[in-house]
Amino acid sequence: MPQTINVHHVEYDLWHDTLTLFEPFASEPWAMLLDSANAQHPDSRYDILVRQPVQTIRLINNKVICQPPLSSNQPNNLDLFSIIQAALEPLKNSHSELPFSGGALGYLGYDVARALTPELFQQAPEQAENDIPLPDAAIGIYTHALVVDHQAKKSFLVAPASMTKAQAEQFWRAPVSPYSPFKLTSSWVSNLTEEQYYERLERFHGYLHAGECEQINLAQRFTASCTGSNWHAYTKLRSVNGAPFSGFVQLEEGAVLSLSPERFVQVNDHGQVQTKPIKGTRPRHSDPSKDAASAAELLASEKERNENLMIVELLSNDIRQVCKKGSVQAPQLLALESFPAVHHLVSTVVGELEDHYTALDLMRAIFPGGSIAGNPKQRAVEIINELEPHRRSVYCGSLVYFSANGQTDSSVTIRTLCQTGKQLHCWAGGGIVADSKASEEYQETFDKVARILPLL
């Protein structure tokens, strides 16, 4: 049955404090926040809060589990993206002023790739241990949302048409429950020693010299024991990591805390596509002259520039699969963007979807992102599975929404942590190419989490 969704304007002054508005629901399963984190960044504009989905879609060991199940007239062999598309179809909302006006929202973990291309993982020997009990994907279908536009200073309530504006407001009003402060109860421990990291980089260089791959993203994972509120941990991290694609996801199994600076792919209501790969990193410094020198060194680095352009080419080829011929272009290459911990090189690739394709078709075509896999992507995925000791779980996947009005936006879940039970995990990686120096690449992984691990 079609379900109409309405949008209500509410007073920005009363409905703009995202953390205060979300906090009463932060421990509620399937409450999620896509958070621009008040970052001073061109892509920081909207915050999107959701809770109480009408349906949940989880991917566990390549099996899609829907609650409640899809209607009996749906085929049984649909893949994850087809199921999301089917769940979106009953929702009716063409309100294009908002990026999200009800629809699907959640995360796609890196291992969604196992369901999309199982042959990649069947050919390579299974090395990576699967020890994090989070779903490989967790997507809710939401008819309620609170959307805050910080640039235009407007706030909107999304709600079923059966609800009055007052009822829609009441949905987001609740007393705050006390929570225990977050703290670590152990030191951070990596799943790779420095020697093991160097050894794996050397093994990759063997594949590279054999002509099998030009680049891979190699990551290490840090783990610590913890107690207390994961929401408290997120707000603490957010306060010093003003990242435009931040987010918080609460599930029964645990939580995702993301402080991502990187857009994966965006589709607007006219079918225009944008992806913004990050490749190239230098640390920030408190001394202004040292900081400027670090940025200048990044801009001048031939290695970093070549690596970025390699990923631009890969992503361009990926999105061409579903975009109109001749529409894929790179209007901005190798731009410097600075974040609290690091400077990055960021490029922008755009295109226009073919009329018969949707944003879900696009996501299926390009997942996982080339910037966090490698080139060529298929072989890079196999090598990563061989070299990294543990599966990546949420890391290098995506926080994403697919709105009922046709719009989509998503992050690459780098600078991202996940909490399950009394354990907290955080990853850091970087692109490895022919002229990578092991000591520099190893140090870069620590630079990327310099405002995350020490802060907690």
Which residues belong to the active site? 262, 279
Helix (H) and strand (E) counts for the chain? Answer: 12, 25
Q: What is the token pair recorded at 445?
A: 């992984």
Compute the CA torsion angle 221, 227, 232, 235 (nearest 10 deg).
-10
What is each CA distance from 228 to 232, 252, 420, in whole angstroms?
8, 16, 12
Closest-CA residue to 100 (of 91, 111, 87, 108): 91
Q: Which string of DSSP letters, residue by residue, matches 66-79?
A: EESPPPTTS-TT--
DSSP 3-46: EEEEEEEE-GGGS--HHHHHGGGTTSTT-EEEE-TT-SSTT--E
In the 8-state DSSP scheme, what is residue 369? Answer: P
| Paired tokens of 396 | 């290098």
**53 touches 202 (CB < 8 A):** no
Residues 6+ apart with CB under 8 A from 403: 93, 98, 99, 100, 101, 102, 103
- 158, 64 Cβ separation under 8 angstroms: no
